[in-house]
Copies of this chain bind each other. A is one copy, B any other.
Amino acid sequence: MIREKYARLAYHRFPRTTAQYLGHGRADTAPPEEGLPDFHPPPQPQEDPYCLDDAPPNLGYLVHMQGGIFFVYDNKKMLQRQEPHSLPYPDLETYTVDMSHILALITDGPTKTYCHRRLNFLESKFSLHEMLNEMSEFKELKSNPHRDFYNVRKVDTHIHAAACMNQKHLLRFIKHTYQTEPDRTVAEKWGRKITLRQVFDSLHMDPYDLTVDSLDVHAGRQTFHRFDKFNSKYNPVGASELRDLYLKTENYLGGEYFARMVKEVARELEESKYQYSEPRLSIYGRSPKEWPNLARWFIQHKVYSPNMRWIIQVPRIYDIFRSKKLLPSFGKMLENIFLPLFEATINPQDHRELHLFLKYVTGFDSVDDESKHSDHMFSDKSPSPEIWTSEQNPPYSYYLYYMYANIMVLNNLRRERGLSTFLFRPHCGEAGSITHLVSAFLTADNISHGLLLKKSPVLQYLYYLAQIPIAMSPLSNNSLFLEYSKNPLREFLHKGLHVSLSTDDPMQFHYTKEALMEEYAIAAQVWKLSTCDLCEIARNSVLQSGLSHQEKQKFLGQNYYKEGPEGNDIRKTNVAQIRMAFRYETLCNELSFLSDAMKSEEITALIQ
């Protein structure tokens, strides 16, 4: 119920089935769009994806940050009177109460036993299902015409744009630029213009000799439990100049090289026809100009692709900016991140480029090394962002709350205007404290990684009941935090958690040209997944993604938003109906156990 409240407030998704058992469900006759996030359908083939003409008028609203959250006011007078525009606003006190409720729950002995047993039961039940129905499932798939694992839609639900090409691709691109334009000015340093040739000369390097070994952007044994080493691998040949030149949107070339590589990756996806991806682009919050610059990069280099939908990642590195005196407070960072979005939402006319770019942005991610420990315990006594001026980094849960809170207000404002909304999709549970998964349980639509659910039966069971999508990247984990054979993906899938497969960083982790297929192939081989398993994961990935309602209908079937077998169109998904029925019945069974227990408690209470 707690998660449902937070989901509804932010236009995040919550499963209808679970809602119904909680007694809060809307009738199934409700229009499908209700309860679904609002994403722009992609432009029609004849439409110009970069058309700046349809910006709606200026509402003239004002925004003002208070306690780290933006409040919207109809006009100056209302602002002075402190009477915000009628939108739901988050309340920190309620939030901390909810948080501590869940925290108490996950350490409660009897609850742990119950959840642990139910999870074991779910796993055994699936094994039984598999033994009994494996051949029937395969028979269903065999008689399903024209659809197999290769032509079901798959979305790479978690991938960083700066590592979306593989190492060989980056190498080839670097060599190509050097061959074709060595004398082009590509940087400026202390007022001096620097050509590409000079860049490589200063590194004492001939790009002809460059190899994937000397490029050294691939993770390996030496990155295991070393997120710092992993991060520094983003520097080709260990040189941050090359990272700036090739993998950034803001540089002397206006991010041209990076845009070209991303577009090459996009062309490959388009050719593959069935593969989509949701690359993360960075907004750091150092300056309010980052947003208009990013939008301009996108439009100027024509980066749009029908097979890509964009996610904005915000690295949790306030402490670095603060220590370099780039930011006075955490509040300023939040302001740099969100103010431009409120302005572009209130007055798209004057922020046409950003308004356009936001059509293709479907969510926010929160990224960094989760294993870093924080001394601060987030509570309603914590300093509010405006007065968080220390050099200490706020903890994970603090970041998550303020990201969520502002996304929630922004989504409500945008929804009111008929604009698209955003999902909050943080990295969570890759490492570090289990409380991260508690924060995300409230604030996230879906998460990336979720490995640590392995350690908390209560949270794992809650993630199951609420069917929170988890984008898992076992190859990434294998190089960073958890050996492949110990990855819980197979176990989660079997129990019925809503998992998808994603690549995270093809540049760092993959060997072949088709990173997502490599990810699926290895999972299939190592865990002996069946075709039905693979297609279920692929279906999950489309559901989890920011693809629009129209696209999902096309890729998964008209009724994809319905739960259980009626939401599945095997002709499009290649998922056996037996499997869908099993999943649905199993979930209903778990939910009805709980709702029966709740009812009998209510009755007992009434009698007494």
Instruction: Name A residues whose Cβ lies closer than 8 Å to a Cβ of B.
Output: 134-135, 138, 141-151, 168, 206, 208-214, 216, 220-222, 475, 478, 484-485, 510-514, 517-518, 520-522, 524-526, 528, 530-531, 574
Contact = CB atoms under 8 A, between A and B. Distances in A.
A242 to B, nearest CB: 15
Most buried by B among A134, A149, A208: A149
Nearest to A218: B531
Contacts of A478: 525, 528
Given A518-B512, A518-B521, A145 B220 contact: no
A interface, over-half SS: helix
B211 A147 contact: yes
B514 A211 contact: no
Contacts of A151: 211
Contacts of A212: 148-150
Contacts of A574: 211, 213
Given A475-B525, A521-B522, A213 B512 contact: no
The complex is assembled from copies of this chain, and their number is: 2
Contacts of A530: 220-221
A143 B221 contact: no
A169 to B, nearest CB: 11
A514 B514 CA distance: 9
Contact of A211 (B146, B216, B221): B146
A535 to B, nearest CB: 9
A526 B485 contact: yes
Contacts of A206: 145
B484 A146 contact: no
Given A214-B142, A513-B514, A530-B221, A150 B168 contact: yes
A513 B518 CA distance: 10
B208 A146 contact: yes
A134 B221 contact: yes
Contacts of A147: 211
B525 A521 contact: no
Nearest to A143: B214
12 contacts: A135-B222, A141-B211, A142-B214, A145-B211, A145-B214, A148-B212, A149-B213, A151-B211, A475-B525, A512-B512, A512-B517, A512-B521
Contacts of A520: 511
A492 to B, nearest CB: 19
A228 to B, nearest CB: 17
A341 to B, nearest CB: 39
A511 B524 contact: yes
A138 B213 contact: yes
Contacts of A145: 206, 208-209, 211, 214
Contact of A485 (B138, B149, B485): B485
A539 to B, nearest CB: 15
Contacts of A511: 517, 520-521, 524-525
Given A150-B212, A213-B138, A530-B220, A512 B510 contact: no
Contacts of A512: 512, 514, 517-518, 521
Q: What 9 A-B pairs are tightest by C-beta distance, nearest first? A: A145-B209, A148-B211, A511-B521, A148-B212, A141-B213, A142-B214, A142-B213, A148-B213, A512-B517
A144 B214 CA distance: 8
Given A221-B530, A485-B526, A209 B521 contact: no
A575 to B, nearest CB: 12
B211 A144 contact: yes
A214 B574 CA distance: 12
Contacts of A517: 511-512
A220 B528 contact: yes
Nearest to A211: B148
Contacts of A211: 141-142, 144-148, 151, 574
Nearest to A524: B511
A4 B502 CA distance: 52
